[in-house]
């Protein structure tokens, strides 16, 4: 069912792995932030970004494997998407408790809505994969693309915030 998508998975997985490495640059920038308040804020945005990249990397590693049927892939994707939606609720609640940054509508959309759409698309792709529907690879690719895009935005936004606020915490 996912035959012919190898190049997409290779490119998306390589991008996710590279961007995980670049998150370490952001962590290095934030190394001077030591107050619990700022550390909590950093983890409220850094960890979800890492989870998005990790999800993309995980999917791109296991999806091209020669599975004997679509059922195992569909079940894994469906459970991963469901776990992602539950985690996203936790992330939204955690990010709302931050009192030193006021995200605008774009930040709220990209930190909250986009990952939830990616997880929902993953669940839809999983169900379509199990039902052997031809649109399944597109829903899965859409989920991977949304999570990768959201991770890029999260890493960029976090890096900008850390570079602007690094000197204020010393």
Confidence at residue 47, expressed as pLDDT on a 0 to 100 scale? 85
- Helix H or strand E segment including 167: none
Mean pLDDT over residues 102-115, rounded?
A: 78
Question: Which tens digit of pLDDT belongs to each residue from 26-71?
Answer: 777 666 665 666 666 667 778 888 999 999 999 999 899 888 889 9
Confidence at residue 37, expressed as pLDDT on a 0 to 100 scale? 64
Sign of torsion, CA 143 145 151 154?
Answer: negative
Contact present, 162 and 42 (Cβ < 8 Å): yes
% residues pLDDT > 70 (the chain): 84
| Model confidence at 79: pLDDT above 60 | yes
Mean pLDDT over residues 151-159, rounded?
A: 83
Distance of CA 144 to the CA centre of its chain: 8
Mean pLDDT of the chain, nearest integer: 85
**Distance between CA atoms of 52 and 71, rounded to whole angstroms?**
24
Q: Please list, in sequence order, all residues whose beta carbon lies within 8 angstroms of the beta carbon of residue 38, skipping any fewer than 6 positions away.
A: 100, 165, 169
| Model confidence at 169: pLDDT above 60 | no
**pLDDT band with cut points at 50, 70 and 90 for residue 147:** very high
**pLDDT band with cut points at 50, 70 and 90 for residue 165:** low
**pLDDT band with cut points at 50, 70 and 90 for residue 144:** very high
| 22 or 81, higher pLDDT | 81
Does residue 133 sit in helix, strand or coil?
A: coil
Mean pLDDT over residues 102-131, rounded?
A: 87
Beta strand segments in the chain, E: none
How many CA atoms lie within 13 Å of 116's alpha carbon, on the beta-carbon side?
A: 12
| Token pair of 14 as six digits | 């390589």
**Distance between CA atoms of 85 and 2, rounded to whole angstroms?**
24
| 30 or 159, higher pLDDT | 159
Confidence at residue 41, expressed as pLDDT on a 0 to 100 scale? 66
**Distance between CA atoms of 123 and 85, rounded to whole angstroms?**
10
Contact present, 157 and 103 (Cβ < 8 Å): no
Sign of torsion, CA 146 147 149 154?
Answer: positive
């Amino acid at each position: 069912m996912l035959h012919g998508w190898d190049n997409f998975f290779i490119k998306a997985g390589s991008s996710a792995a590279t961007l995980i490495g670049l998150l370490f640059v952001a962590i290095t920038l934030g190394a001077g932030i030591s107050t619990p308040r700022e550390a909590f804020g950093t983890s409220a945005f850094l960890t979800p970004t890492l989870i998005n990249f990790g999800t993309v990397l995980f999917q791109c590693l296991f999806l091209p494997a020669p599975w004997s049927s679509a059922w195992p892939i569909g079940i894994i994707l469906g459970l991963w998407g469901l776990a992602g939606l539950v985690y996203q609720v936790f992330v939204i609640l955690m990010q709302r408790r931050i009192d030193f940054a006021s995200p605008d509508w774009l930040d709220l959309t990209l930190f909250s809505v986009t990952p939830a759409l990616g997880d929902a698309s993953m669940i839809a792709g999983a169900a379509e994969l199990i039902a052997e529907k031809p649109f399944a690879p597109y829903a899965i690719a859409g989920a991977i693309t949304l999570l990768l895009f959201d991770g890029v935005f999260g890493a960029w936004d976090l890096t900008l915030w850390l570079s602007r606020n690094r000197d204020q915490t010393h």
